[in-house]
Structure 1
Amino acid sequence: MGRRLGLLKRWALALRSEVIAVFFAARDPAAPLLPRLLALFIAAYALSPIDLIPDFIPVLGLLDELILLPLGLWLVLRWMPAAVMQRARARAAALLEKPRSWLAAAAIVLLWLLLLAALLAWLGLWPWR
C-alpha cells in the first residue's frame, strides 16, 4: 500500500509540473495557434476550481480529472513543438523549486477574511453586533 501511495504522489507531482509547463507553453509566442489555444484551455481547466462535471456526482464527477485532463495534456504534448515544451518545462521546474512561504500565504488568507468581514459589516450583514 505504501508503494502505491508513493507512486500516486510522484504521478500527482509530475502532473502538476506538466500542467504548469503547459500554461507556460500556451504563453510562448513561438507556439502554433491551435496548440496554444488548447494548452491555454487545458491549463485553465486544470487550475480552475470549476469542473465540467461536478465532483459530487458519483463516479462521473472524477472522470474529468481521470480521463479528460490527461487526454487534453497528451494532445497538447503531442501537438506542441518540442523546443517550446522544453522551455516551458524549464520554467515550470524553476517555479516549483522556489521556496514557499506559509507565513505569506497565511497573511493573504487573513487579508481576504478581513476584507470579507469589512464587506459584511458595510452591508449590514455582520452576524455579531
Structure 2
Amino acid sequence: MKSLWHWIKRLKSDIFILYYASKDPRVPWQAKALVMLLAAYIISPIDLLPDFIFPGLGYVDDMVLIPFVAEFILNMIPKPVVSEANLKAMHLSRKAKNWTGAVLVFAVILLALVFAYKYL
C-alpha cells in the first residue's frame, strides 16, 4: 500500500511541477502544448477507454497514461527549470494544508448521509 501512496504523491508533485514549469520562458513550446493537452485530457469527460463500457479498464488507462505522459513531458523540460519548479511545488505543498476546507467537506458529506438515512 505504501507504494501506491508514494505513486499518488509523486503524480501530484509532477502535476504541480508541470504547472510551474509551463510558465517558464525557457520551456520549449512543444512541452507547453503537451502540458495543455494533458490538462485537457485530465478534466475531459472523454477517455480512451470509457469507464462505463469497460468498468475496470476505464480507470486503468488513466492510471497508466497520465503518469507516463507527465514523465515524458518532464524529460522534455530543461533540468534547471524542473528543479526550480520542484522547489516552488514543495513550498506550495507545505503551505497548502487547509483543515478548514477538509472539515467543511466532511461536514457536508456527513449531513447528506444523515439526511439520506432519515428521509429515504
Distance 2:92 2:8 in 1: 16
1:49/1:38 CA distance change after superposition, 3 Å: closer
Structure 1 letter corresponding to 2:68 = L
Which of 61, 66, 86 is residue 63 of structure 2 equivalent to?
66
Structure 1 gap ranges (5+): 111-129
Which of 35, 38, 44 is residue 42 of structure 1 equivalent to?
38
Identity of aligned residues (%): 29
Distance 1:98 1:84 in 2: 21
Instruction: Give every structure 1 segment of 4 or more consecutive aligned residues whose post-TM-superposition deviation is greater than 6 Å.
Output: none
Distance 1:68 1:25 in 2: 20
Structure 2 gap ranges (5+): 109-120
**Which secondary structure does the structure 1 equivalent of 2:85 belong to?**
helix
For normalisation by structure 2, the TM-score amounts to 0.71
For normalisation by structure 1, the TM-score amounts to 0.66
Matched residue count: 104
Partner of residue 120, structure 1: none
**Which secondary structure does the structure 1 equivalent of 2:51 belong to?**
coil
1:50-73 deviations in Å (ceiling 9; x for gaps): 352433322330233232112211
Distance 2:24 2:45 in 1: 25
Considering only CA atoms, is the larger Rg found in Structure 1 or Structure 2?
Answer: 1
CA deviation after TM superposition for structure 1 residue 37, in Å: 1.1
Partner of residue 28, structure 1: 24
State the superposition RMSD in angstroms.
2.5
